[in-house]
A and B are shown apart, each in its own frame.
Chain A
């Protein structure tokens, strides 16, 4: 069931959580389980934030419908696998390489495909879908369809007990790796916001998205900005892939699992401000955790997706966007 489900990110993390919960609190429906579930929701929020951030750049800022986003995550995971496999590198050390490699591939993609299709969202959507199939195919050709495993660094394994019972067993705990994911996600969000709102490069990007022709007249190299921004968004996806690679097995179709979720996060949060991604992932991750606690996981996913559809219907610009006159 898990292998089949196209977006099993919630499920897989939940099953883990349920095992934890069952092992920890045998009482079942009590405050401890609820707290564990909420903490687990935080873990999902981290993954959602990480995977959604890159998309918030490519779709939110550049308005590129990038259906190959999941494949850039997959590429990042493979970069980590290769570096760990070949040089025995620590997962943390591979993150910059994952960023660089996926950013370069992103730049090439922008140069050869995306650039021809600006102002044509549906064509871009189709082309990036073709690209996603091609990337999966090429990776499968190189690495075969076999599942690959990436090791998490030893100092990030284990759980941090927050509350212990009388016997000293942990009642409420959060795994270090989950905390690490959230830390990386928040750090990347902060870095990206700094880049966008405090540097001249960010100013140029915002200028180009607001008024391309005017920016051009004022001497901004719009083509370079486009390429750089898209490459940066892809690089972020690569980092997400590198970090996630230790949680799940690495395989060519893995990116598909994150695509729909990343889209839901970005659409929910709204594309006006980068901080919307955080809001979107918080809302979706925690809603999912709470509903899954009350009912069950697949139902939670269906309800959350349905809620997002209703949201798009009434507020296509996202929840956290200030209404503008058009």
Chain B
């Protein structure tokens, strides 16, 4: 997963970073063979949450848009994938034997709604997991960013969206399964045979590496430079002739697409999706991973999601008050370690260097 990092760093610290990223990837490849079933599915889940964190880092850490709606994008992708899996249940494992999912029967639907029916086919579902959240984000982004709305108000809008969609999904029981969401879905299968948990783990690992590599490449490109500049001084970038809104909409949509993909992979793993993941609480969770891991570090949110998830797993056996620990951790990070836990790492190992614009280096050169 850290391979991508290596590429850039090769010029300055080739051996050290090659070793670290190689070892990191190796650990993640060996891991499933060492751990039991429970750890396997937990790690798969945490990798997905980490990817979700990375997608938020793109808009928050790099572009300065704090969003509580990334859980929403994640869940939209999740629902698309859940409909696919639900509609592909074999007839005998479906409670009512028919084609119609159980929750639709309970709520008195007679036929499959036209907007859900196409999701029975894999290519359609695959496109939908990406396209639905991306399209929603695009419309939203177009609406928000082409206006004078800024900073905190955008965050409040994302809060409202999360709250409104939760209410909407809960109320549309016949179509969404209400509070319970979509449960008892079939397993993801490949050429007719179900994919084993370890296969799913490797798919998810590959996805995480893809998200990390893509994000890293983006942030190192000229586009990334512009995004960071927008974060630093939006007005100046606008005066330089860049269409700030366009860049924001682009990264916002891309980030939502990545979040949606993560959600799409989450359902085969988790075997259900519900409005819990739409709610503000889950959106906050994503924000917390990024804040604690370190904004603008990409690897930080991933590590934070894995670390917190693992600690939570053990802590919850001892105490019921895990959330309190998270709250205190968040407060401490905001007050005393504003750049997140990644900034505590020694400079050579830290990805935070990478997020510093290259411009800084040239201006240093000029000074010298």
Contacts and interface: CB of A to CB of B under 8 A. Distances in A.
Given A6-B280, A137-B323, A313-B144, A267 B334 contact: no
B291 A312 contact: no
B334 A4 contact: no
Interface in A266-325: 267, 296-299, 301-302, 305-306, 308-309, 312-314, 316
B351 to A, nearest CB: 21
Contacts of A230: none
A6 B279 contact: yes
Contact of B168 (A256, A298, A316): A298
B328 interface: yes
Interface in A173-209: none
A312 B276 CA distance: 26
A123 B147 contact: no
A15 interface: no
A126 B291 contact: yes
A122 B152 contact: yes
Contacts of A260: 159-160, 163, 280
A156 interface: no
Q: Is the interface of A mostly helix, strand, loop or mixed?
A: helix
A121 B331 contact: no
A6 B164 CA distance: 10
B179 to A, nearest CB: 5
Nearest to A134: B327
B271 to A, nearest CB: 20
A130 B327 contact: yes
Interface string A127-141: 101111110111011
Interface of A: 1, 4-7, 65, 113, 116-117, 121-123, 125-127, 129-134, 136-138, 140-141, 256, 260, 263-264, 267, 296-299, 301-302, 305-306, 308-309, 312-314, 316
26 contacts: A1-B179, A4-B170, A4-B275, A113-B331, A117-B334, A117-B335, A122-B152, A123-B338, A126-B330, A129-B284, A129-B287, A130-B327, A130-B331, A134-B331, A136-B323, A137-B327, A141-B321, A256-B281, A267-B153, A305-B160, A305-B161, A305-B163, A309-B160, A312-B156, A313-B144, A316-B149
Interface of B: 66, 143-144, 147-153, 155-157, 159-161, 163-164, 166-168, 170-171, 178-179, 275-276, 279-281, 284, 287, 291, 321, 323-331, 334-335, 338
